[in-house]
Chain A
Amino acid sequence: MKAADEVKELARGFRWGRRPMVPRSAEPHTEEREDVGFPTDWARTEAGVAARQAILRGIMHPLVRNERSLRVFGLDHLQDVRGPVVFFSHHSSHLDATLILCTLPDRWQRRTAVGAARDYFFDVWWRQAFTALVYAGFPIDRARGGKGIDKARELVRDGWSIVVFPEGTRTPDGHMQRFRHGASRLALELGVGLVPIAIVGAYQAMPKGRWWPGKGRPVVTIRYGDPIYPQEGETHQSLSLRMQQAVAQLFDEDRTTWFDAISRAERSETPSLAGPVAPAWRRTWEGSRPVARRGPPKAWE
């Protein structure tokens, strides 16, 4: 048989260009393919880290700065923290991960990976490659509960910090949704700290459904908080709740002052981020209220 014919037969038999197929009678004897397709570990090698930092500093950071006014607070909280930690934030926009990675100090930026939904970000090879390269992305399987965070566990054990969005998906209306328990379970299991982050204004700048920030350099504030640590005998539910409160407190701090926020938190009066119990239009209306610029108005405004 000629080589070309053989290759043709192989292509037909193995269905090149189509999805791989398991014979019917072999199904019970074939394990489900784990971590479909594309490995991500290459992106966490030395070369991967260097490439990512180049992209973050050379492309992403200037781009972000160009499109909006960026303000960062609270990095001093990270000064004395030893890694790895779990960074977590509410999830308001596709910008979130970029903003966090770009604003992290070098020491953290080098060894921080971002958790991304397997069903979307690890679905086709080019999106996988992009996610892995730019965000050191690793898959979180939101359909699988406890097993979905296997990769996260492996990374933290390897000394990598991770960024997760415990809501599991971006907010539809600007308000914070219930936290899922993957991050708190992981922190309890491995005893690592959880660093809250509040991203104020990203929803207004680029809400779900948009692919590029709006015009006019919207203001976005990123506020890092004090790490919280799981306490002896704490349940993951209560830890998740504390995490939500930590983010809410950061928002409060952004709106008022640090001192006010603390005292309100002491009195359990921190305003909730869950938004009003009201019709959808009012939730969206409140959620998309523009963030006021602070300080004197610019001369040309």
Chain B
Amino acid sequence: MTTLALEYFRSAPRYVGARTLGSKAPGLIAGPLAPLRLASVKDPEPPAGRSGWARVRPLLSGICGSDLSTLAGRSSFYFSPLVSTPFVPGHEVVGELMDDCGDLEAGRRVVLSSVLSCEARGEEPPCANCAAGDTGRCDRVAVGHLKPGLQTGYCNQTGGGWSRMFVAHRSQLHAAPDGLSDAVAVLVEPFACAIHAALRARVEPDQSVLIVGAGTVGILTLIALRLFAQPGHVTVAAKHEKQRSAARLAGADEVVRPEHATKSVRRHTSALKLTPERGPDFLMGGADVAIECVGSRSGLDLALRSVRAGGRVVVSGIPATGADLTPLWFRELDLVGAYTSGTETLPDGTREPTFDLAIHSSQDLPILERLVGATYPLDRWRDAIDHAMSAGKLGTFKVAFAPQG
């Protein structure tokens, strides 16, 4: 049997086309240069003879920045051995179980923790990271009885969220509480990432923080920071009006346009601002921590140039290449990555799976209801991708597929 799915396939001409023309004519990436096709693909099947797998019917499936950079040919070849093509993208998923899966009965609404770690791959004993609960750091994402794929949505075998059906392992599934609407549930995965990033930032009480970017990731990171740390002054740099108003709502102390960010951080930290002959201004002194949530070169530059000596820069978006790392060396900064989620150590020392934190705390955050700004059926995928590519400009945070529609 077959399933309707949006499939990513390798295509050299489209890759070259998207890379060269994509920035000039972004419309082409959702148009003829998209390395995607809507097709009836063979039903994904779990590895033969393995238990703990079940079919999932996605109800909402988000379009993530990493998906877009893959389509635009901008993601690094570093990933190439970690994926198996053709694959069905989509790793931010709320869905409905079609089969019983361990203690979860069929029909149950679930959210997906997308990493395909040791447990899903049948690696026994698990790698040290998985054993410690840090599944995001799993060393075995390219081996085991599954095809390579760092997450569901990059693995040829499991299918992904941009389809009518895919398979998932029990270790990836978390029951969605009944009170949680689909529109919020689809944000649980990015919210878990945001919580992870916020905790990776190890913000001490009253330290000043700069968040670069207020798209979905930026807003969720800001919320997570307010929930799980006690930052002092939080500045958010955001490009679009709607993002700025959302950041204000989510608890930023100050919201500025990116071009005014260094100026604003300087005022609060009484730093010195210097202007190099070329390139943007930088601070001597500055914020204690900066979290980069855009994934652009200018975003990372801004973060690196706005933290104090010995401060910390957290890279939460997929890092762009080309940023100037001089401040990292000269100011002796900590550069910290934050990828997906796992198990968190809370300030009081307890250890909790990130997803549990995300599911639990998303239930009383009304602002999350407003982040999914548009949903599209699969057959309007070009509209969806095009919309997602200029979501900020169009006043949307998250664009999602409603694959059953």
Residues of A whose CB lies within 8 Å of any CB of B are 16-21, 24, 36, 118-120, 123-124, 126, 141-143, 168-169, 172
Contacts and interface: CB of A to CB of B under 8 A. Distances in A.
B394 to A, nearest CB: 7
B68 interface: no
Contact of B25 (A17, A20, A24, A119): A17
A21 B373 CA distance: 13
A36 to B, nearest CB: 8
Contacts of B383: 19-20
Interface string B30-74: 111000011110100000000000000000000000000000000
A43 to B, nearest CB: 21
B26 A24 contact: no
B250 interface: no
B30 A18 contact: yes
B18 to A, nearest CB: 14
B390 interface: yes
A16 B390 CA distance: 13
A120 B38 contact: yes
A98 B377 CA distance: 31
Central interface residue in A19, A36, A120, A142, by most chain B CB within 10 Å = A19
Contact of B40 (A17, A141, A168): A168
Interface residues of B, number: 27
25 contacts: A16-B27, A17-B25, A18-B26, A18-B30, A18-B386, A18-B390, A19-B27, A19-B382, A20-B383, A21-B394, A24-B395, A36-B380, A119-B4, A119-B379, A120-B37, A123-B38, A124-B31, A124-B32, A126-B32, A141-B379, A143-B4, A143-B377, A143-B379, A169-B39, A172-B2
B381 to A, nearest CB: 9
Contact of B30 (A19, A119, A126): A19
Central interface residue in A17, A18, A120, A123, by most chain B CB within 10 Å = A18
Given A19-B382, A168-B40, 5 more contacts: A18-B27, A18-B386, A19-B30, A120-B39, A124-B32
Nearest to B390: A18
B229 interface: no
B265 interface: no
A21 B39 contact: no
B193 to A, nearest CB: 26
Nearest to B403: A143
Central interface residue in A16, A118, A126, A169, by most chain B CB within 10 Å = A169
Contacts of A24: 373-374, 395
A141 B4 CA distance: 12
B94 interface: no
A248 to B, nearest CB: 20
Given A19-B382, A19-B387, A124-B32, A169 B394 contact: no
B289 interface: no
A125 B150 CA distance: 35
B130 interface: no
B378 interface: yes
Contacts of A17: 25-28
A19 B379 contact: no
A143 B387 contact: no
B71 to A, nearest CB: 14
Nearest to A124: B32
Nearest to A126: B32
Contacts of A18: 26-27, 30, 386, 390
Contacts of B32: 124, 126
Nearest to B377: A143
A119 B2 CA distance: 15
A144 to B, nearest CB: 9
Identify the 6 closest CB pairs spanning chains A and B, nearest first. Answer: A17-B27, A19-B386, A119-B38, A18-B27, A169-B40, A19-B383
B2 A169 contact: yes
A169 B38 CA distance: 12
